[in-house]
Amino acid sequence: MPEKKGCLGCSFPLVIGLAVFFLALLGIGIAAGPVGKSIFGDLGLPAWLSVPQPELKLPADTVFHLFGFPITNSVVAAWITIIFLVGFSYLITRRMKLVPGRLQTIFEFLVGWLYDLCVSVAGEVNGRRFFPVVATIFLFVAFNAWLALLVPGYGSITIHTAEGEIHLLRAANTDFNMPLALALTSFGFFWYFGFKALGIRFMENFLNVKVLKDGFRQLFKGKLVDGLLGIFTGFMTIVTGLLELLSVFIRVISLTFRLFGNMTAGEILIFVMLFLVTFLSVLVLPLYGLELLIGFIQAIIFGGLTLIFLTVAVQSHGEEAH
């Protein structure tokens, strides 16, 4: 067998040509970008080679008003995700077969994996109950991130409004309201499942005065040491319960800022990289890959934490102790 000469399946001249092309792009990109300007000064390169400085703006822009209600570009992006997820699900599930096709297999694998995760953490009965909540959060977070990275138009299509030129679409996860909405959904289901499973006893996790009452009872019976110990433990239980209640509210904040921070930081990183070195899109591709992975990881984290919170909610503290 004759030995093939070349590199990566291409002939050497082609590889060298491509390398020169990309190096030239890199050189021009650096020279035209802010890094080059700060080093070499103004080289008189055409103005179209320069990329305008990215404007980092955290609040989402209002695209239009619906019945007097402002609709931001992140809400439009969320609608696109909803349409995509629902449409894709409908296309697959309208003709479900016992022996699945390729798409059905992929979707069943994804849904089945989420279901197994829920069952493995919360058990058969509770896992089945929590699954729709966890799966919705996971799918929404993941597809919000992936569509924003993979579908052209996010952050590039601009429209003119009364506020000026704004982007039509913005990754929904990078708008503070979206992670907060998801966190509040998680929070709402926490209370819903908690009360559904334990009734009013669920509140004992946050305000338990039983131990304190027992302490006073002991004290009135004349058992001074037991009574004082009981009263002390009772106060500690109340303080712990209040801390627990505080932690429930803090979870909303932590869930929100974790997702918002990661997604926004990823987007800013890509913007800045593209700004610093013009024409470096090819080299930014790994960052896109990283962002896809981060989107997936954040979806798992958000969904997984919600699953754990819901599992904790349906267990009374007495059960947890066992």
Partner 1 sequence: MEGLGSLGFSIPTLIAQVVNVAILFGLLYLVAYKPIMRMLDERSRKIKESMDNTERIKEQAERAEEEASKRIEAAAKEGQEAIARAMRTGEDVRQEAQQKAKSEGEALITRARSEIQRERDEAIEQLRESFADITIEAAGKVIDRTLDKKAHRDIIDKVLKESTTLKKG
Which residues in 21-60 contact partner 1 (CB under 8 A)?
A: 58-60
Rule CB under 8 A: is residue 168 a binding residue for partner 1?
Answer: no
| Residue 116 vs 242, nearer CB to partner 1 | 116
| Residue among 133, 148, 149, 294 that touches partner 1 (CB under 8 A) | 133
Query: What angle in degrees, to the nearest 10, is found between the helix axes of 177-198 and 224-276?
Result: 150
Element (H, E) at 64: strand 62-66
Nearest CA to 186 out of 274, 313, 68, 83 is that of 313
Rule CB under 8 A: is residue 281 a binding residue for partner 1?
Answer: no
| Residue 50 vs 185, nearer CB to partner 1 | 185
Rule CB under 8 A: is residue 240 a binding residue for partner 1?
Answer: no
Nearest CA to 77 out of 155, 187, 190, 182 is that of 155
Rule CB under 8 A: is residue 115 a binding residue for partner 1?
Answer: yes
Nearest CA to 257 out of 297, 225, 298, 289 is that of 298
Computed on alpha carbons and rounded to an integer, the radius of gyration of the chain in Å comes to: 28
Rule CB under 8 A: is residue 64 a binding residue for partner 1?
Answer: no
| Residue among 32, 51, 135, 169 that touches partner 1 (CB under 8 A) | 135
The tokens of 311 are what?
């599992």
CA separation for the pair 150, 143 (Å, rounded): 10
| Residue 72 vs 205, nearer CB to partner 1 | 72
| Residue among 112, 153, 289, 318 that touches partner 1 (CB under 8 A) | 112
Q: How far is the CB of 172 from partner 1 (least distance, A)?
A: 8
Rule CB under 8 A: is residue 101 a binding residue for partner 1?
Answer: no
Rule CB under 8 A: is residue 268 a binding residue for partner 1?
Answer: no
Inter-residue contact 275 to 54 (CB < 8 Å): yes
| Residue among 1, 8, 47, 98 that touches partner 1 (CB under 8 A) | 98
Beta bridge partners of 10: 7
Q: How far is the CB of 116 from partner 1 (least distance, A)?
A: 10
Amino acid at 290: L
Nearest CA to 135 out of 124, 143, 146, 125 is that of 143
Residue keyed to tokens 């987007």? 267
CA separation for the pair 179, 92 (Å, rounded): 28
| Residue among 29, 51, 127, 140 that touches partner 1 (CB under 8 A) | 140
Rule CB under 8 A: is residue 277 a binding residue for partner 1?
Answer: no
Rule CB under 8 A: is residue 96 a binding residue for partner 1?
Answer: yes
Rule CB under 8 A: is residue 177 a binding residue for partner 1?
Answer: yes
Cα separations (Å) of 10 from 16, 42, 139? 10, 38, 40
Stretch of residues binding partner 1 (CB under 8 A), selected from 87-95, 207-215, 275-283, 305-313: 87-95
The tokens of 98 are what?
């016992």
Nearest CA to 315 out of 57, 121, 104 is that of 121
| Residue 7 vs 106, nearer CB to partner 1 | 106
Residues that bind partner 1 (CB under 8 A): 58-60, 69-72, 74-75, 78-79, 81-82, 85-86, 89-90, 92-93, 96, 98, 107-108, 111-112, 115, 128, 131-133, 135-136, 139-140, 172, 175-178, 180-182, 184-185, 260
